[in-house]
Structure 1
Amino acid sequence: MSTLRGHRAVSLIGAGLLVAAAVHHGAEIGAIGSSAGPLLAFALDGGIAVAVLVAGRRIARRDLSPAEEQRVARWIATGTVLAVAAFAATLAVRAFEGRPLVEPAFPMLVAAGVGSLGGAIAGYYAVRQSAEARRARDAVRAVSFVNHLLRHDLRNDLSTIRGYADLLDDPDGSGHAETVAAKASEGLERIEATSAVADAILGDADSSRVDLADTTRDVLAGVADGESAAIETDLPDAAPVAANDGVRSIVHNLVENAVEHGGPGVTVRVAVRADGDEAARLGGDDGVALVVEDDGPGLPPEVRDGSFLTDEAVGGASDGGVSGLRLVATLAEAYDGSLDTGESSLGGARFTVTLPHAPADSAGSDT
């Protein structure tokens, strides 16, 4: 069953107040035989009701999420109830004192309208403040992750470039120029991926069509060049997902985590499953799954208990692998995916990232 959108609920409250005011003052005109007073009163309480209707229209144009609209509607309902209850309490006191209650309907309508309008204004600014605070938190997270990527990944690439550049002066330095050029290209790719990571975390990037299988092959080609690890792969020809270039950081961090924590001679198995079976096994929707497992010592305690997902795990003093896993979890969530951890059939750790399939008509490249 569909839920009533918040702006429609606001408009219904405004329309209800307007109809109630029109009916009440129309009856007044018939009772007293004069229209001047009732019309003046209707201009006040009816005008407030129209203002509530306008607030509903403005909320509809503010591009708020359904949850945010519902929050504004709750503020309006609360304001209306509180204002009516406060006025009803004054009437109860007057009745208890034995004082006459003269035409309470009109001030009751004014109180309800003022409460609704005040609730609309307060609710809108509360939602906007909450959104700005959430965006500020996301910005801090993005800066922390970008700082981690730049310090960790680019430092490694630039150290390699510097080392091979020193060897170019040797008489037998043939081939080192190609290594320098390759590492420089990898550094540039990391800068582009870092920008995509920040956009994804901040919600500024539109999802496009990215081939997860091809990205995985590209990342593994760089890992196999210099790591003392046995890499096993099970990759389909193509596995398009709805994401951006930040997917490269997901693959890189999971593989790097397995290699670094698995120890010398670790076996790392990397698979991409595009048939949705892995996502279904994890209880999620149909999607594309990236599975990275190893025969190392298994899941560290901070990963097993989920503490690596806390804000403290992002700081510069935290373990690089834990920060990398936090980045993976954050990016997976930004892409409407998920990260699952468990024990590997190889005896070590197993990490599964599930990402949504890219629509067939989505923009981007599968290669």
Structure 2
Amino acid sequence: MDRTAVYDASPLLVATLGVVLFVAAGSHHLTEVTTVDQLGGPLLAFAIDGVPALGLVYGGYYLAHTAFHPINNWRVFAATVAGTLLVGGMVAFSIAIRLSEGRTLAEPTFELLLAATTGAVAGFLAGYYSARSRESAREATQAMATLSFTNSVLRHDIKNDMTVIRGHANAIDDADGDATRIEESTSIITDRIEAVLDTIESTGAIAETLSADPDFTTVDLASVVSDTVDHADDSLPGTVTADTPGTAEIHANEAVRTVVSNLIENGIEHNDTDDPAVHVTVEPAADGVILRVLDNGPGVPDAEKRDLFEPRSDDTGSGGLYVVSTLVENYGGDIRIEDNEPRGATFVVEFPRP
């Protein structure tokens, strides 16, 4: 079982621990009924050490339905186990000391069960509130990264397009009635206006995708890639090419343009060659559509690959790769980075079908 699967199973493990403690308490106190020949005492004892164990079972169920990151679920489970071992271990150690002194202990099993359950519940609560604090910090970092990214998009992309529009508007003024020059500049202005509108729409789609109730639809990824590559090849200092099928429908929204454009820009901007090049492919797969963005840059060291898509509160850049991974995750897809041959990096994005 890999680490991700263990993280995902954490709520179930918490509930399982609760069941084990509940059954242990129930079995012990059931035998007490015949030993002491009364129901009240064992029932009260079971209410003290058995019923809280049911709370732990519910805690596992509740944890499974939170929006916590899987690693935070694991931290809650680890805290629960730590609490069980710490409190239960202390009581077990004290019992062992008294037994070594030759003392007679009335009911060590009840003490152990009570200590283990108390420690488990205390550990769960401590772990839960710690995880919730981490989630709040993560959400704040996510909001900062998203705001930084959208601000960068609006400032960089729209500013560039508007600069081109202004330049060709001036060219029309200076055309002296030259129909060819006017037509050429008008065409470029129209294209850039469309690009600005696409950027604004994509930026709005980013906010929608990261909201609590995004509205996804069917998007032709092949068409998005073709349009984005054409624009990138004209505007970026490098060569951008694509290999796409006629159509490739995915479950997403307009913000998928941001995913494609940001991965392309990343391959060009972080390139150390004299002739930066990015190649984009779209391939239908058995259960989805696979987007690959290959570059001829320096690549990404293995030690940095794991944290490449994580948010950074001290990041003064666009935070683009984090936003890209968040968008893909919200679509129900997956993103990873591989080595390109003979050099460079390959971003692999798997999108679900509609």
TM category, shorter: 0.7 to 0.9
Alignment of 1:178-193 (within 5 A): 178-193=187-202
Which residue of structure 2 lines up, in the alignment, with residue 245 of structure 1? 254
Q: 2:228 aligns with which of 206, 210, 219?
A: 219
Q: How does 1:66-105 map to 2 (within 5 A)?
A: 68-105=72-109
The CA distance in 2 between the partners of 1:33 and 1:327, in whole Å, is 64
1:326 positional shift? 4.7
SS in 2 for 1:274: strand
Q: Is the 8 A contact 2:25 2:113 kept in 1?
A: yes
* Distance in 2, Cα, partners of 1:76 & 1:338: 32
Query: CA offsets per residue over residues 228-277 of structure 1, 9 Å max, x none?
Result: 9776654321233454433323443555577786999x695745241569
Cα 1:237/1:350, change in 2 over 3 Å:
farther
2:316 aligns with 315
The equivalent of 1:172 in structure 2 is 177
Counterpart residue number, 1:356: 350
Structure 2 partner of 1:110: 114
Structure 1 residues 252 and 30: CA distance shift in structure 2, 3 A: closer
CA contact (8 A) 1:229 1:268 kept: yes
Alignment-derived partner of residue 167 in structure 2: 163
Equivalent residue letter for 1:185: E
Q: Residues 80 and 127 of structure 2 are in contact (CA less than 8 Å); yes or no, is this contact kept in structure 1?
A: yes
The unaligned stretches of length 5 or more in structure 2 are: none
SS of 1:101's equivalent in the other structure is coil
The question of whether the paired residues in 1 share the 8 Å contact of 2:289 and 2:352 is answered with no
> Letter of the aligned partner of 2:352 in structure 1?
A
Identity %: 31
How many residue pairs were aligned?
A: 336
| Partner Cα distance (1:58, 1:246) in 2 | 32
Contact map agreement 1:253 1:328 (CA 8 A) in 2: no
Distance 2:70 2:300 in 1: 35
Equivalence for 2:150: 146
Q: Does 1:11 align with 2:15?
A: yes
Q: Contact conserved, 1:240 with 1:357, CA < 8 A, in 2?
A: no
User: Which shows bigger deviation, 200-209 or 137-146?
Assistant: 200-209
CA-atom RMSD in angstroms: 4.3
Q: Deviations over 1:173-197 (max 9, x none)?
A: 7434554343222112112223445
Quick check: 304-313 or 102-111, which moved more? 304-313
Partners of 1:258 and 1:12 in 2: CA distance: 46
Flag the 1:97–1:237 CA change in 2: closer, same or farther, 3 A.
same
Distance in 2, matches of 1:94 and 1:55, equals 35
| Residues in 1 aligned to 2:102 and 2:170: alpha-carbon distance in whole angstroms | 99
Identify the residue that residue 28 of structure 1 maps to in structure 2.
Answer: 32
1:40 to 2:34 alignment: no
